[in-house]
Every structure is written in C-alpha cells, then in structure tokens.
Structure 1
C-alpha cells in the first residue's frame, strides 16, 4: 500500500498501443476480422523475392497494413513477419534494411510488449548492435561536413537512426532480460550525441534519443552511472531542461511541440539521475524546485484534453471525406511517411498529449519521494495504521503554503507546489469521448485514446501521491476547509461516472482508472476524516467494487474509503450499512474471510477505528447491532489468517507484522468494549 511508483513491469503502453483484447484470439479469428487477409501472403512472399524493389515494397507494406489495424497485425504475426523482417536487416540492399527497420519499429509501437518480446527472443539485438557504430560514424561526418551528402541521403540516415533508437527504447521496457541486453550495447554516449548536436539534427530523432535515455535511466544503475559521471552530459541535459518556451516560438508547430516534449524528457532524465554528485553545477541545485517544476507545471496546463478531443473528432470527420491514401500498391513502393495533412495534425495533437503524460509521470515521481506513512502512529492509546491515502484535489483557496504542519518535522516539499497543480489535475482526470475504446469495438483513433487514458491514469497517480503526503503531515487549515474536500470528492466521482463501470475485454484501462481513483477517494477520506457525507449510491458502488475485484489492493482501498465515510457523525444510517458490510467480511466458524487476508486486516482495523470512541453518535449501531459478539467470534479466524501469511513471499514479512498488530488490537478492543459494559 502506498504511493504510486514507476515499475518497469507496469510502465505505460508504448506510444500508440491501446488494448486490443476485445479481438478474438487465434489466426482464424484474426483472418475473419481483418479486411486485408488476401494481401498477407503476397507480402510475405515478396519479402524473399530476388528483386530488391519487391523486398522493399513488402517491408513498407507491413507498416501500411498494420496502421491502426490490430487484426491485420496479428495475422502478420502468425505468418512470422517479425522473424522475416529481422532477416531483412541483413539484406544486401540498404533501402531494404531501412524499410525493414521502419516496419519493425511500427510493429513495436503497435504491438507493445508481446511483439517486443518476440523480437528479443529472435535475437534482434545482434543486427542492431552492428548498426550503432555505423550510424555514429555517418552522423559524425554529416555534422562535421553537412555538404558531404545530399539532403535525401541525410534524411534516410536520420530516419533509420530514429527507427533503431525507437526499437531499442521499446525493447528496454519489455523485460529485465531485454534491458540487460540493451545495457551491453553501451548506448549512453551514442544517445547523448543526438542531444548534444540537437541543433544540427532533426528534432524527431533527437526526441526519440531522449525518450530512450529516459527509459534507460529509470532505475537502471549502469545507465545512471554512465550519465552521472560525465559533466558534459549533465550540462547538456540542464541546458535542454532550462530551454525557455520563448526560444521555441516561431518554429513550425510540430517542431515547437517536439521541443517542449524534449525539455520535459530532459527533466525526467535528470530526475532519474538524482542525486547528481559534484563537481556538477547541478549538485548545488534544488533540482525539483529550481529546474523541474518550472517546466512541468506549465506543461500540464498547456493543452485542454477536451479541446484536443474535439480537434481530433473534427479531423477524423474531415478524413472521412478525403480520398484514401494508397499506402501499399503493387505497382510501386509507397513511402512509409506519406501522410495527409489530417494525419500530420493528428500526430501533432498526440505529441502535445504525450508531453502532458510525461510531465505527469515525472510529477508523480516527485510526489513519491515525500514521506510515506508506513510506520504506525499513536492515536488515543491505540495503534492506527495510516494506510495508503490516495490523492485528492484541492480547492484553490486552500492555504497549503503557510499553514504549519500539525506533526513535527519539516513541511513536506510538495506543499509549495500542490496549489498550482491541483486545478490542472482535476481537469486532467475527466474523461472525454475518446478516452477509452467503445465497448466491443476499437477506438476511432487508437493513438489519441492511448494518450488520453494514460493522462487520466497519470493524473490520478500524481494526486494519489500528493494527498498521501498531506495525510502523512496534515495541516489544520486544510482539514478545516471541508468545502474543498467535498469539491474534490465530487470531481473524482464525476470522472468515475464518465469512465463507467463495465469491464471486460478491451476495457482494461477503465478498470485501471477505478483502481487508482478509489485510492484517491481514500486519501480524501483521510485528509478530511469523517467530514465527507456518505451518499447511498456511492457507498453501494464501493461495496460492489470491493466484491467484484480480485485485486486485494483495490479491495483494501474500497474498505478504507468506506471506513472514512462511516465516521461521519451525522450519518448513523450509512454507518450501520457500512459496518454491516465490513462485518460480513470477517471470518466465522463456518469459514474464512471471503475477500482474502489483506482486505480482512483492513476491515478489522476499520471497525476498530470507527468504534474506538463509544461517545460518537453512531456508536448506537455498535451497541444495538451486536457488533461486539461478531468481532469476538472473528478472533480465532483472524489468528488463523495471520498465521497463514507466508513471510517468504514478496511483502509477506511486512504483511505478517501488520497482521499480528491488527490481531492484537482486535483482542484488546474486544476486551476494552466488554469492560465498558455498554
């Protein structure tokens, strides 16, 4: 339980990837759902043609056929298109190699981890290893003497470099085994060269290098050390991060957007490297305050997701009236970058949305470094676990800057910037018409859907961490501003209402939003304990969510949120409904808890906290409902559940420790209430 951290095996989707689990599995179903089945076999055959023109055509055709078409991609996978394309990376014709790399890049982006893992298993690293020194040598020649090669030759090399870098970036996110293999390529100097000569190279290629470096320096010691120990690398990253927005004005829209994204990525890399050791000038800076926040906070307010959605819908409507572009023609080799104005504008919008996502991801990391209340704290003589508070948005009138913390120690570093990000975060958690795929159908524009859903999730994770810090170091002024808490509570429920509750194949991102957002609600409940009036429908939804989700973390969050609602002194009826539900989660003589050990511990702890003070108005429910007998009857079942916790499993030792505390607290609580005689 606790703050959202970046985890390599739980990172965001690759740039254009959206769930396609709504599609049936198997080649037969892929064939029936693809409109391009008849084109597959000729493409695979032409890959092996003795004519290099046909081989090039086939490589380009793969990119064109899979464009926003997961059914055709799956069908191509079934024909071993990955293995065939990797073979073409050793082709005797340079143009075939370039187009094969482009097709593999697009497969990485479209297919996500599954295809990346297949590429790694089929040893794509071997040809990539040979390309890196060749690219470096050629780029060095172009940079030193730009006139030594015609413009079209330079363009091919830049695009080829972009393709190779993007494949390496995607592989780095696939698995630790793949990451270790990429580490063996010693890419840092190679990637940093693109950043160092950013003014002489295409910004798209430089941005891809920065993205790859961002991923490689994410909790990856070899890469971090390689960058940290080079003062020139640090100075370059600082210069990119500190690039003023005014310096980007006047550029073409796509370049201006990529430049902004590049600045954000530089911030992310620097944060991955922190703390930066001397003698670097960055060692004396407050990296978060002096460098990162001045870039990240404006970034998350730079684009309205509602306006971006409206613009995409207009472009899609315009596209519907345009003649289709012939992406793959048997008569000639099409250009893989041949795109309409509408498609280029859609890409520009996605670039803006991805910049917001990157900024949110870094902000989430900043909030994750704040104090985490893992340790138990004393409260009225009882041990109370300050469990995972989730984020909540705050009212702009909340004085988070000046109010002294009610706990000892320094004010959490988030307190100075929380007011500036809460309003944007409230807007960024609200879904739009393109945020999630329609039920049982693909998205009208998968790249936009992927970017929007990632933004909503990242904004919720950022809120989660921010409000967890408030719960750890509460301030009197924030706790007193109940209107702000209610406003944020309502905003989260609006977002959940727009997200919808129906799950199923293809709707995994909706369920992910619920899993994070319910934690946000818990955070609100902790910061404004007992002050949010429970609503019958919301209580019912939380109980249904707890019953329907198998994930113990989500169940714990639901129980924690219900606990906070049950402590409202004016809601005696809601208290009874919630308590009855929590009691139903306890073990009985007939069997163990129906929700598992970790949610059981949270339910027991919640009941103890709710009824710790017999003077509260709703304690009448405890006395008249026979709750004491139910709790006493659950002690033996709780003992068995705690004893059954395997310390050897991940997190088992900590869970066992907490379980023993909850068990002891329950025994003491039952004894205390019996002594009261009420």
Structure 2
C-alpha cells in the first residue's frame, strides 16, 4: 500500500472554481451547442470597437458568459485574448476574462492558452505591476482609490492565471520558472499590511516539487522570515506550541474568513521548502511537528460539512426563488461585481471549504512518514504515471520497522488527527450527486468531494505509518480499531457503487478507502473480523479494478481479515479466492503484483498450523492446490518487482515443503 501524495504536475487544475469535468455531463457538454453561442459572436466583435466602453463591456460580458458553460469556453479559447489596449480598465477586464477562462476551463484550455503563447504578454505585465506597486507603497495617498482597485484586480488576475498555467504541464511550469516570479510574489507578502493581494497559494503551488522556485525562496533569509512571521505571529509561542488548543481559534477564524487562505498556504510553502537552510535559527524548526500539525489540526476541526452543505442548499434555493436579473444582452451592460447576497454567501462558503481542503492537502504530506516508494525506482518506473501517484509499495514494508527520517512528524501525534479526519470523510447530500440528478451548485460539490478525498488520503498515510511503526499502544486499543473500520465502511456505503463515467470522484473514494482499510487491518490484524458482505464487496472490487495497485490493496485487506482466529468460514472464502488468482496451465486472471501479493498472503495466513482456521488448509486440500501453482520468475515487471517475485516464489516452495513435513 503506497502513501498518498500530492500529484506533482497536475494536482488541481481549478484553484477557485469548478472544472469542466465536474459539470453535468462533464466535458461532453462542451461539444454540444451552447444556448449562449448566439450571444457570444456579437460580443466578440464588440472587442474590436473603437469605443473603449464597448471594449470593456465586451470583456466583462465574455467573463460572465464563460462561467460554468464549457461550450462557450471552448469557443472563446479559440479567439485571441485582448491583452493589449490603450485603456487600463479594458486591460483589467480582458485579463479577468482570461483568468476565468483558465480557472473554469481546466487543463485542456490552459494548454491551449499556453500554446497561443499567452505567457509572452504576461511576462511584460510583471515589471509594470511592480513599478505601480512600488509607487503605491511609497505614497498610497497619491494614488486614487479607483487606481488602487484597478492595480489590485489586474495583479490578482495575472497571478491567478500564472497559477493555473503552472499546473498545466511541466513545459508550462518550466516557462513560468524562467520568469523568476518568487521575488515578485514575495513582495506582496512582505507588504501584506498595506496590500490586499495575497499570492500565497500561487507560491504554494510553485514550490511544490519545483526545484527552481524552492531554491529561489531558500536563497533569501528574508523570504523565510516573512513566511514564518505569517504562520507564527509574535503573540504566539515561537515553538508553535500553544498553552491551549483554543489559542488557535483566532488563527483558524482568520484563515477561514479569507478564500485566499494565506496562513495555511504559507504553512504549505514552508513545508515544501523544508528543511530550512542554516545558519538561520529557523533551520532548527521541525516544520511538521511544530507548525503543520498544531496549526492545521484546528482548521480541519473547525467546520461541519453537513452544516455547510445545508447552508449551500438553502442559498441555492433562495437564489432560485429571487426575481431574475434581466438577462445579458447588447443593450444592457453587465456589472462584473454585481452579486446577490446568496451568491456572496455561496462564494464565502466555498472559500471556507477550499481552505479546509488546502489544510488537508498539506497534512497529507505531513502524515506520510515513510520513504517515497518511487525513490530509487528502476527503469520501468517514470513518466507521468510516476508523477501522478505512487501506489506500488508492497506490504513487505509494513512488516519492517522503518526508521525513516523523511518527515519528523512523530507517529505518536498522528492518532490525534483521526477523529477530525473521520468527520470529514462522510459524504453529504451534495458531495456525490448521481448522474440523473446533477448538483444544484457544482462549485460546492467540487469542494466537498475534494475534502472527502483529501481526508481519506490523510487517513491512508496515518495508518500506513502506524502499521509500519508497529506501535503497541495503538494496536492495543481494539475499540478504536473497530470504530475506524466501521466508519470507513459506513462512508464507502454512502458513497455507493455508481462508479461509471462522470462518477470518477466516487471511484477515487473507493480506491483510497480500500487503502485505509488495509492500513487499519494491518494495525489491528487478528482482532478485526468482517461480514461476509464486506468480504464479497472486496472480492468484487478487486476483480473489477483496472489497476494493479487497487487489486493489491484489496488482497492486502483480505489477507488480514483471513487471520482473525475464529472466522473460519471467512477464512475459507478468502483462501479459495486467493488460490483462484494463482496460475495453473492457463494464464492467471491477476497481474504480476496481484499474483505476488496473493501468493505471499497465503503463505502468511497458513504459516501457523496451530490456529483454528488452519483446518481449512488441511481439509480443503490447499497444499495440493498450491503445489501445482507457480510463479513465473520471468513475468514482466521492474527489477524490484521481479526480485520480490523470486523471493515469494522461494518462500512458497519452502512453505509447501514445510507443510508436507508436518504431515497434517
């Protein structure tokens, strides 16, 4: 079972809104004829008007139309963005339209924008914004309020667009690295008391497994001091340990009041660039133990998802019952900042949810106390698949006492997170809407499902770490093990098994959830029993899984459940299934990793002939069944996989001989 990791290149393509894939019918709807297509053509034509007010209006109108309308986004993306204009307000609105296009359009449209060389004009904006910023900081009263507003809007639009593009591909990220954005972005944080722009989330993304950005941040001690001053205010103890957990309530409320989530994003930045370089005193700080865990735990404990979903539904219902504002037309200039009370409430609610999601994402890394499974990978590993996820860690590692120092977060701190995380995995009525009844508010649905998945990833890492550390105090709390086991199963039951097209988030929950079950089953091995229905669900999910990593997880859970001493019928069902996966004269239905895991599981289950369920091995003729099975040591796979296959094959041969010698 591999630890969950942040996806290095394309973690999330939609920083603040909902991507096309989460809209009703997903991207397929983009190919259909939009009801707004007839309106978009004359608006596009208005962008070439000699009248600046017409050009501004056209940019605002496009910005409004592209929200949550894939077809209009596709149509607009084919047009050349208007990023050169003699009027500042037109430029700001054009940049805002491009920002919304990148935010809502996702990877495909961001890639199209990058291919249209959108970075060239964006590069020229950075020094211009810096000049205006410097002038404003020297004399804020000299700049009219309208000028300040335009500067903030334009800077925010540029930064957010660069953020979106940086997550499009490694090619785009490398191009953005060449701009050297770190000094520009840090200048906003350094003057945060005077400026309303908070580019911390863009910085967080840029420093995620991105060496050039990390090196740039670490090269300036002032940058690190600035970040530390944000997450460790002077009124807080320097070591990050408050006298009372309630001391952090003020920080939590401050963080949750802003959609930009400056505090937890800065915590994430510090974690991305850790260890902090000496000789600064900050180099001695244990980022995970002294900052990440104590500061972010209150954040994830501060929100009730059922209450949030209920508030969102009430706002949606109220919004639907309001008199409709006259629809957009060429005769009625739209107001870009016109939002009803309910729309503002929905945006604030989504901002709070995204803050919790970001905190969970950072905690996921802090909870991964094991070495990266991809470290030292052979030639068969690599490419985008390796970047996206590392789930090929086998369970042998769980049976060893790893002393990894990759993360200094103590395993003893991890169980304290479990109650808060369990509260966040349970779906609400808006979390996973069926295809037949699309979400009434996709942004809220997107945020809620992201929180459930991120919380499940945290649990996955926690129980993988606990399983590897073999903590007696944790495994001795059998009641706690049963509680976690039942809650995860209850959650997956609510998620349901509608796992087809358009329900990818449900599948993610199942794939990660099975990993959590595996970790829990290892920690409390021999004390957890499962119902026959749960066993059959695991078997069906294993058979239906398309990737080896998920199959291995399912087999791992079944292996642990089979070792509950008194579950003789369950043991028999599981053993028969595992044997069915092994090859005979015909090819095995299992892949190489699944085959190795199943073989290893059978050896472990029946290595002690004194256990009650060993009767199944003797009476079921399993020795004879295993004797005619085998593992082809020439099976395809990486060096490590082949090496493990040979080891398991040797163990199987020795096991068969051992059982024969017993004469039972």
TM-score between both structures, scaled by the size of structure 1 = 0.88
Instruction: Identify which of 169, 175, 191 aligns with 2:185.
Output: 191
Query: 220-229 or 619-628: which moved more?
Result: 619-628
1:224 correspondence with 2:214 = yes
Q: Distance in 1 between matches of 2:411 and 2:611?
A: 32
Q: Distance in 1 between matches of 2:70 and 2:584?
A: 52
Give the aligned partner of residue 423 of structure 2: 427
Query: Is the 2:259–2:352 Cα contact (8 Å) retained in structure 1?
Result: no
Give the aligned partner of residue 264 of structure 2: 264
Instruction: Identify which of 570, 573, 576 aligns with 2:569.
Output: 573
Instruction: Identify which of 637, 656, 659 aligns with 2:645.
Output: 659
Query: Is the 1:3–1:468 Cα contact (8 Å) retained in structure 2?
Result: yes
Query: Is the 1:57–1:334 Cα contact (8 Å) retained in structure 2?
Result: yes
Q: Distance in 1 between matches of 2:520 and 2:250?
A: 43
Query: Is the 1:370–1:412 Cα contact (8 Å) retained in structure 2?
Result: no
Query: Is the 1:435–1:450 Cα contact (8 Å) retained in structure 2?
Result: yes
CA-to-aligned-CA distance 1:9-39 (integer Å, 9 cap, x gap): 45134232342475276688521xx432322
- Where 1:368 maps in the other structure, the secondary structure is coil
Q: How many residues align?
A: 634
Instruction: Identify which of 227, 230, 242 aligns with 1:237.
Output: 227
- Where 1:200 maps in the other structure, the secondary structure is coil
Instruction: Identify which of 84, 89, 94 aligns with 2:83.
Output: 89
Q: Distance in 2 between matches of 1:27 and 1:407?
A: 49
Q: CA deviation at 1:132?
A: 0.5
Give the aligned partner of residue 676 of structure 1: 662
Give the aligned partner of residue 545 of structure 2: 549
From the superposition, tell whether residues 92 and 608 of structure 1 become closer, same or farther in structure 2 (CA, over 3 Å): same
CA-to-aligned-CA distance 1:65-109 (integer Å, 9 cap, x gap): 233x2xx322441x3x224252x0123333222112111111221
From the superposition, tell whether residues 433 and 363 of structure 1 become closer, same or farther in structure 2 (CA, over 3 Å): same
TM-score between both structures, scaled by the size of structure 2 = 0.90
From the superposition, tell whether residues 540 and 567 of structure 1 become closer, same or farther in structure 2 (CA, over 3 Å): same
From the superposition, tell whether residues 248 and 21 of structure 1 become closer, same or farther in structure 2 (CA, over 3 Å): closer
From the superposition, tell whether residues 26 and 543 of structure 1 become closer, same or farther in structure 2 (CA, over 3 Å): closer
1:73 correspondence with 2:66 = no
Give the aligned partner of residue 494 of structure 2: 498
- Where 2:428 maps in the other structure, the secondary structure is coil
Query: Is the 1:234–1:280 Cα contact (8 Å) retained in structure 2?
Result: no
From the superposition, tell whether residues 4 and 248 of structure 1 become closer, same or farther in structure 2 (CA, over 3 Å): closer
Query: Is the 2:626–2:656 Cα contact (8 Å) retained in structure 1?
Result: yes
Where in structure 1 are there 5+ consecutive unaligned residues? Answer: 376-383, 391-404, 647-651
Query: Is the 2:259–2:354 Cα contact (8 Å) retained in structure 1?
Result: no
From the superposition, tell whether residues 562 and 298 of structure 1 become closer, same or farther in structure 2 (CA, over 3 Å): same
1:481 correspondence with 2:477 = yes
Query: Is the 1:389–1:464 Cα contact (8 Å) retained in structure 2?
Result: no
Q: CA deviation at 1:44?
A: 2.9
Q: Distance in 2 between matches of 1:626 and 1:128?
A: 71
Give the aligned partner of residue 53 of structure 1: 53
Q: Distance in 2 between matches of 1:25 and 1:133?
A: 37
Q: CA deviation at 1:197?
A: 0.8
Give the aligned partner of residue 16 of structure 1: 17
Q: Distance in 1 between matches of 2:195 and 2:575?
A: 64
Q: Distance in 2 between matches of 1:260 and 1:413?
A: 26
Instruction: Identify which of 602, 607, 612 aligns with 1:612.
Output: 607
Give the aligned partner of residue 590 of structure 2: 595
Instruction: Identify which of 530, 554, 558 aligns with 1:558.
Output: 554
From the superposition, tell whether residues 191 and 181 of structure 1 become closer, same or farther in structure 2 (CA, over 3 Å): same
Query: Is the 2:289–2:410 Cα contact (8 Å) retained in structure 1?
Result: no
Query: Is the 1:418–1:466 Cα contact (8 Å) retained in structure 2?
Result: yes
Query: Is the 1:522–1:560 Cα contact (8 Å) retained in structure 2?
Result: yes
Query: Is the 1:371–1:469 Cα contact (8 Å) retained in structure 2?
Result: no
Give the aligned partner of residue 293 of structure 1: 293
Give the aligned partner of residue 201 of structure 2: 211
Instruction: Identify which of 508, 521, 527 aligns with 2:523.
Output: 527
From the superposition, tell whether residues 191 and 374 of structure 1 become closer, same or farther in structure 2 (CA, over 3 Å): closer
Q: Distance in 2 between matches of 1:385 and 1:76?
A: 43
- Where 1:616 maps in the other structure, the secondary structure is coil
Query: Is the 1:353–1:452 Cα contact (8 Å) retained in structure 2?
Result: yes
From the superposition, tell whether residues 409 and 191 of structure 1 become closer, same or farther in structure 2 (CA, over 3 Å): closer
Query: Is the 2:207–2:213 Cα contact (8 Å) retained in structure 1?
Result: yes
CA-to-aligned-CA distance 1:341-389 (integer Å, 9 cap, x gap): 11111111111111111111111111113467999xxxxxxxx963576
CA-to-aligned-CA distance 1:135-179 (integer Å, 9 cap, x gap): 111111112111222111211110111011001111111111110
Query: Is the 2:248–2:298 Cα contact (8 Å) retained in structure 1?
Result: no
